[in-house]
Structure 1
Amino acid sequence: MKDLVIVFPGQGSQFAGMGKQWFDGNRVVRDRFGQASDLVGYSLADLCFTAPPAEVTRTRFAQVSLLVLSYAMYEVMTEDRKIPVSAMTGHSLGEITALLAAGALTFEDAVRLVKARGEAMESCVAESGTGMVAAVRMPVADVEKCVEEFNSGGHDVQVANYNAEAQTVLSGTLDDLKGLTAHLEDRGAKVVKLNVAGAFHSSFMADAVPAYTEALHEVEFTEPTVPVYSNVTGEAHESPQSIRESLAVQLTSPVRWSAIVASLVERKAAVWVEVGPKQVLKKMLTGAVGSGEVHSFDEEPERVRAVLDQLVELKKREPGLVGLCLGAAAATRNRNFDTAAYDQGVVLPYRKLQELSKLDQETLSDEQKQTALDLLLTIMRTKQVPEAEQRDRVESILRRTGDAGLRTIAGALAT
């Protein structure tokens, strides 16, 4: 089974007229636009389709419209199929879209949160004299060295986005960025000025944090149904509390996109689908994911649907969670030669797993799946399987079946 990753774009993917074909052709998109418009107090359709281009690029408007359009496109993509997603993530703002798609918060809360986020960020950078540039064609370590050299002269430029090995985004005052540009170009880098309102993902955004944090505390986060990877850590969120804490510092922390990609590639992610306007992330991912295939739902919807249908069919041929538990139970080496303990902790649980395997695997409840995982854990503990191997086997099963929401397994492993 090929692991599927869904990615959502951040600010910078917006453009005047974005989403018009999705809005015209899909009721779910029109409904989400209407629902969000009621929440934010202005017409998203008018903003995206008829307003002057400068309006949709404003931070407070761009972020809401990107969230709503990207999520509505995801609903279109999945409305007639249950796709076997292994992980989700997004670039900056897109992480919130990923959390929404993974069920970690409601649509209403997501829209309100992003409205507060965009407004706080726009207010923070108003007349701040700050901006961002992208340094390309130079390794990250060399860029960091150049920044350190430049800052030693009393300047303050900060890494904002680790996008790829040869694409690093920097934040600072416009004067400092101008000086650093010359410093980088003298050393062989190509520097591109970004059309953004200010120095995002740096300490220059500190004044936006209080209002955004207040909005975060009004949101009830729940466990995502699939792992969602954090821009701050580069790894999957561990709990609803970690989501809140990570998002709170995201505004002033660099986006560790390349770390996210590396983590997922290491976990054998094979198919990547960008869901949102344009294909900014597709271009960034192509070449960075090894032999993995990368698609944009906006640019190639029929191709994406065909790929997803293929994954759905492959999923049907795979053993379910109980079958994988049975396989793991049989495959692990036994280090316990106490016959009575083996009968009680291996033989009996294995028989119970066999009974669960006789049920309709498509209709198993989360409680029954959790029981299967608990039985597997009992077997592995009795066999004295090392804890790291226990965790790897369980995480592999959850990843393959898309049941990553069964996170009580972490607590079980700790006892």
Structure 2
Amino acid sequence: MTSPPSPSAPPAAPPAGDRPRLALILALGSLSALGPLSMDLYLPGFPQIAERLDTSGGLVQLTLTTCLIGLAAGQLVAGPLSDAFGRKRPLVIGMTAYLLATLACALAPSVEALIGARLVQGLAGAAGLVIARAIVRDMFQGLAAARFFSTLMLVSALAPVIAPVLGGVILEFTVWRGVFVVLAAFGAVMLAGCVLVIPETLPRDRRVTGGLGASLHAGWALLRRPAFTGYMLTGALGFAAVFCYIGGSSLVLQDAYGVSPTTFSLLFGLNAIGLAVAGQINGKLLLGRFRAHTVLGGGLTALTLSAAGLIAASQTGAPLPWVAALLFCCTSSMGLILPTTTTLALDRAGTAAGTASAFLGAAQFGTAGVSPVLTGLGDTSSALPMSLAMLALSLLAHLAFLSFLRPWRRLPDPLLAR
């Protein structure tokens, strides 16, 4: 059994310089976008699925829930396996299973079969999400890793916006099954990228010996480290706060403010662009010049103040432009929070980067899965329930940041330019 991971372990294959190949960025970014694409691409086809499979909207909605569960649970398996057996083999197996499960979705004869296939699709697709983060950790450390994660946001942040629009376009030419055929084609491209573009970044001498049990033991050692747990919780709770907006804004904006579907799509796209731009500013201008905890605290403060502003706006009858601006600030704050917490957490993972990445992903998807429930507890004719949920989760993220990480201490900063 391996000893607990060493946070000072060097990267397995550091690239020459700080400019990774474009093909590698696109491959890893596409793997990071696999989750949002799998969940959102077929959303416009919900009514047609219910009609063609002669089922209820609730059961069709369950196909989305099971995929989300699979994406969360699958990371807890794929991450530790990648620490024990290397990154490439579990990734190729996962993408192969994803391709087959997606084809099964396209051929599903009933909604029950579709629900089962979607669960397997999520479990398999989780390998791409979790191993992509671990590969970045293998290849980069410190500031270089933070900048790479920020670059990935250019790809992954646009996926939730493009997916429903692309799904609607596909449905103009085919039935709902064709959406999954397109998704399968994307999976086939990803599988080819995993084989041809993404290298094995974890050599045998750095793998966790003792199999899956030893990887899980190393993961338990990580969870007992306040710093790792603090970054994990801070990022996950902040992500959940923004996911309240993602899950609840469609009904809230259309019911409370009379926004048309087209206007909502434009606002949603603008916020995704804000997230991607903020990530670039974070990686290229802030991190390395300012202390990482200062940047992280600034992102959390922007998130909390924006959520509080949304509450005030909902109670004072503020017009839509004010609400849109506050939502833009909420979403953009994640460009400061997520790359920073991900990098700092994985920096403490040592040889257990896959397991650490699994915990990060499972925490994010787990809290994100709860957030729409909080948003749905109130009346969608008001933005107040959504805003209250966002504020509560952002305050919890702040609490995790202060209690676990104690940012007032002037400890060495791995992201600060030397």
Normalising by structure 2, report the TM-score. Answer: 0.24
By percentage of residues, which structure has more helix? 2
Structure with larger Rg: 1
By percentage of residues, which structure has more strand? 1
**Looking at both structures, which has the greater relative contact order when contacts are Cα pairs under 8 Å and sequence separation is at least 6?**
2
Normalising by structure 1, report the TM-score. Answer: 0.24
